[in-house]
Amino acid sequence: MTTETLIDEAPEQAAFDAVIEADSRIEPRDWMPAAYRKTLIRQISQHAHSEIIGMQPEGNWITRAPSLKRKAILMAKVQDEAGHGLYLYSAAQTLGITRDEMTEQLIEGRARYSSIFNYPTPTWADMGAIGWLVDGAAICNQVPLCRASYGPYARAMVRICKEESFHQRQGFEILLTLMQGTAAQRELAQDAVNRWYWPSLMMFGPPDDESPNSAQSMGWKIKRFSNDELRQRFIGMLVPQAEVLGVTLPDPELRWDEGSGRWITSEIDWTEFHEVLAGRGPMNAERIRRRREAHEDGAWVREAAAEYARKQQLRDGGARSLSLSKGVA
């Protein structure tokens, strides 16, 4: 960047800084630093992809839900996730990236999405554990994002968070029902909690001292709390709920430390986290394969929609020129 451009942009930068300082919102047409735009595109598109890939582990159980009621609830939840993906793709589009570009990045395996969706869902109890732990973690992470400095992202998050609380409760209720059932059902619930607990803690991202993006994102008020702060909050939320459920959180070291005012935990297995991020988790390849297949299967829908839009435009254009020739505005 030349000195001249820096000087040229100085008033815009000052206006941007003032909006951030005042806890106000940046909107799509406002000037923003290129790095702020880039960070938002990165985070919002990753978030959108997570919602869309996140439909797969639960979609796996729609045909096998144990009752009609459970099936209807699960279908509604998975549909909500599709909706969240769409709000978020739309928010990202306001920053200048197209939906096609984002889709391409995802199906070619070039985009990140949440590590959590690379684990398998072998039992019905996984639907409970995902709702309770994964949606629970999502709520802790996402409620502060309702105050993110970028308007379209923050507004999308308000709606998403309302739906996430329903998701979390339905997961809790599945686990509660299993825990009040037979010994085999209780075992199923505990096993699912054992498998999802640690990956759900990893959802918050690397520890603060290894999180390259946190400081700048917090400076811009995109993120309001650090990864570790949110992880601590989440553990604090889980402990009393685990007691009500009667499940054990699979960490023998877990305790509240009065002195530091923090939860003490065993070391999180960050090697596992990095392996999953590098594409070597248990389900990475399968998730992308399914996404690519679904995209290819949907080609005819996109073609039909584009053709319909083209015809509508022609018709509207025709009607408009007719009304103009008759002097109707």
Give the nearer residue to ligand BYC in terms of CB position, either 134 or 179. 134
Contact 249, 86 (CB under 8 A): no
Cβ 31 to ligand BYC shortest distance, Å: 23
Give the nearer residue to ligand BYC in terms of CB position, either 32 or 133. 133
Cβ 222 to ligand BYC shortest distance, Å: 8
Size of the site for ligand BYC (CB under 6 A): 28
Interacting residue with ligand BYC among 99, 112, 169, 186 (CB under 6 A): 112
By rule CB under 6 A, what string of x and - marks binding of each residue 186-225 to ligand BYC?
----------------xxxxx----xxxx--x-----x--
Cβ 311 to ligand BYC shortest distance, Å: 35
Q: Which stretch binds ligand BYC (CB under 6 A): 62-70, 109-117, 252-260, 283-291?
A: 109-117
Interacting residue with ligand BYC among 92, 95, 135, 196 (CB under 6 A): 135
By rule CB under 6 A, what string of x and - marks binding of each residue 58-97 to ligand BYC?
-----------------------x----------------
Give the nearer residue to ligand BYC in terms of CB position, either 62 or 186. 62
Q: Tell me the angle at which helices 34-53 and 99-107 cross, rounded to the nearest 10 degrees.
A: 60
- Phi first, then psi, for residue 262 (nearest 5°) are -135, 160
Give the nearer residue to ligand BYC in terms of CB position, either 136 or 189. 136
Tokens of 61: 């159980």
Give the nearer residue to ligand BYC in terms of CB position, either 128 or 206. 206
Give the nearer residue to ligand BYC in terms of CB position, either 75 or 248. 75
Interacting residue with ligand BYC among 25, 47, 70, 221 (CB under 6 A): 47
Beta-bridged to residue 150, according to DSSP, are 26
Q: Which stretch binds ligand BYC (CB under 6 A): 40-48, 103-111, 179-187, 238-246?
A: 40-48
Interacting residue with ligand BYC among 114, 149, 190, 232 (CB under 6 A): 114
Cβ 12 to ligand BYC shortest distance, Å: 25
Residue 319 CA to residue 325 CA, distance in Å, equals 10
Query: Among 141, 118, 44, which Cα is nearest to 87's?
Result: 44
Cβ 302 to ligand BYC shortest distance, Å: 23
Query: Among 120, 96, 101, which Cα is nearest to 111's?
Result: 101
277 binds ligand BYC (CB under 6 A): yes
| The amino acid at 201 | L
Query: Among 158, 138, 122, 124, which Cα is nearest to 54's?
Result: 138
Where along the sequence are the contacts to ligand BYC (CB under 6 A)?
Answer: 42-43, 46-47, 50-51, 54, 81, 112, 114-115, 134-135, 138, 141, 202-206, 211-214, 217, 223, 227, 277
